[in-house]
Amino acid sequence: MDSIQIIKLLESEIKYKGLKLPSYIGFNIKYKVLAISMSSHNSKGGLVFSCAANMQSDESSFEAWSICLKHHLSKYIDIVVFSWNKPPQFSASQQLHYNRFLYRAIRFRQMFNWFEIADLNKNELLKFEVGLTNLAINAPLNKASETSDASSKEKQIEYNQQNLDCLKDKFHLQSINHQLPVGVQKNGESFFTGRASAIDIWGLEYNNLNIFELKYNNKKAGIISELLFYSEVMYDLFVSKKIEKPSQFKKIRDAEYLYGNSSLEIECIKSYLLFDKLHPMVVGTTALLNTNSFGIKFFNIQYKLKKDNFLIDSLYYKGAFQMEEEISQASFRNSSGLAGHGYLLNNGDENLHESIREDVKNYFSDNNIDWWIFDNSKTKPTRHMVSSQIQCLNYLFALRKDKDSVRKLAQVFDPDIDDVFPTIADKDSGYIAFEFVYENAKLLNETDTGAKRGSYCTSLDAFIIAKRNKLKVLIPIEWKYSENYFDCKNKALETGKGRTRQNRYNHLIDNSKQLKSTHELVSSVYYYEPFYEFMRQTLLVEQMILSGIADDFLHIVVIPFENKDLLDKNYEFSKDGLKTTWSNCLSDKTKFRIIDPHEIIQTIENRSAYSKLADYLKLRY
């Protein structure tokens, strides 16, 4: 499979036309092995070797292309094998670039076990690796308050103190600065190219070092190679200690915080793609970057600037899966001829499949249920196409009054289910309720002003009452789509409502048979999302059982298995993934299950009445 065929596959997978691969790199896929080869080429200045070029240029960013292709074409690629041609002779500048290139190849190979070096380059790399000793980082030499590149729009963003303060507040940093040099010396002599080689923005968050690679109106894939290199150097400097701190440094750009504090022990490197827009092939790749063996954590942060200036107006964590789904839903909207922009519809009604559209709106109106708000009224379906509420309704609402189909759905969750009962709380009959609540004020002491289904109280996205071996079983269903909780805060310690939440739930947790109690409830996972939501849902159904409504319960959480940001080890307060974190809180782990929405499709597509809906779901999601 050559470059042309690879591009066709990429465009199909990413749902984006006009993609290109760099012409000076060879790409070939055979037997699930991607071969990447960097060669020389002629330019106006003569012969150019990509291995001795600027690492952020397309022709030199081997890490970026490896990550992008491995991530998006994972069905076709198991291993990446990398090779390159080097100059017969090096200029002094080329040698520094080449040293850095070899270092990058070594560290990238160590970070990802699917990346290999071709036999023709392997011996040189092994020899170079032996010589990676007596390395030290460069120190800042000036205040960097002025720059010859000050006219650059990117620099205007980076150098503005208000923007640095905005980042500092967002990420709870104790200190923040910019232009942290990553030039490396060996035995006191330059070893990597050092001029203008620096981390754009960096900050300390207790024992975490946060580094930001800032891009403005720049959609090059090289952002991955840059951030990887900076992350590797910082890892070697602070974690593996393979690079030494500078022996001397000036007290400028907060160098004393990093290099002069003997008590500072950096435990984790957190690396951020900080962008207004990204190359389509870069979108989603943090999912693969976060599988690295060094434990470096990678994040996407999208910023928006205020109108007519270069001040940051807002910052958004963007999950890898979320960003891919935004592109996917935009493609679906466009191919379906639905009016809108990107993943936003002009008419929120069109977010629902046509077979359920009017019935869903009537159901929400009749039962006084609020819609999830994006930028429109609580009384209308959201225009946002990457909505978990909308996805839940598209999957389940059509089955609502079909008892046999709801029973088969419940059997996806638990094969021993043998019947389902009409739900409670709805004004009409059905076997699935949506945005379900039940006497929350009485059972959970939830008495907030305006509390109702879908707003200001514990609500279940979907709810089924089933029968298993003569026992009545409550099945609360929490539906997640592209959510991530990188920015979650402790709900028990929030100003104002924190104490109220503790008074409501702490004693219920202490008396719960399912939730394990702890002496440190306030700082426990119970008060961090999404576990705060799971905790309240568990308490609600437990209280319903104590009230005599049923005998048992089975807590279902529907999550696309591709959403690694939600499922994987991204919870700093637990250091485990979602399933392990929550299961460790439960006395009976069998009462909790995570289901991929694709497991539900069979229930729908096996019924001829829902064939068009099944086709729609498979095409859209």
Condensed to tens digits (0 to 9), the pLDDT of residues 208-237 reads 999 999 999 999 999 999 999 999 999 999
The pLDDT value recorded for residue 173 is 96
Residue indicated by tokens 């490896």: 66
| pLDDT of res. 135 | 97
102-118 per-position pLDDT tens digit? 999 999 999 999 999 99
pLDDT tens by residue, 411-441: 999 999 999 999 999 999 999 999 999 999 9
For the chain, domains (ranges, CATH) are: 1-132 (no CATH), 133-318 (3.40.1350), 413-597 (no CATH)
pLDDT of residue 150: 45
Mean pLDDT confidence for 276-284: 96
> Could you tell me which residues are beta bridge partners of residue 465?
421, 474
Omega before 422 within 30 of 0, i.e. cis = no
Render pLDDT for 162-190 as a digit per residue (tens, 0 to 9).
999 999 999 999 999 999 999 999 999 99
pLDDT number for residue 184: 96
Determine contact, residues 385/481, Cβ cutoff 8 Å. no
Average per-residue pLDDT for the chain:
94
Give start and end residues of each alpha helix (H) in 180-319.
222-238, 255-259, 286-289
Give the confidence band of 364 by pLDDT, cuts at 50, 70, 90: very high
Q: Which residues pair with 620 in a beta bridge?
A: none
Q: Tell me what percent of the residues of the chain surpass a pLDDT of 90.
A: 86
What does the alpha-carbon distance between residue 302 and residue 293 come to, in Å, rounded to a whole number? 26
Lowest mean pLDDT among 43-47, 155-159, 416-420: 43-47
pLDDT at 557: 98
| Contact in structure between 478 and 429 (CB atoms under 8 Å) | no
Q: In which residue are the tokens 């739900």 written?
A: 423
DSSP notation for 459-490: -EEEEEEEEETTEEEEEEEEE-SS---TT---
How many C-alpha atoms does 591 have within 13 Å on its Cβ side? Answer: 21
| Residue 53 pLDDT grade (very low, low, confident, very high; cuts 50, 70, 90) | confident
Residue 2: pLDDT band (50, 70, 90) is very high
Beta carbons of 58 and 34 less than 8 angstroms apart? no
pTM of the prediction? 0.92
- Cα three-residue angle 342-348-354, rounded to 5 degrees: 105
- Token code pair at residue 516: 């394990």
- Dist CA 22 CA 45 (whole Å): 19
Which residues on adjacent β-strands are paired with residue 347?
none
pLDDT at position 515 over 80 = yes
Question: Which letter does DSSP use for residue 144 in this model?
Answer: -
Closest CA to 464 of 530, 576, 554: 554
* pLDDT of 148 higher than 50: no
52 within 8 A of 101, measured Cβ to Cβ: yes
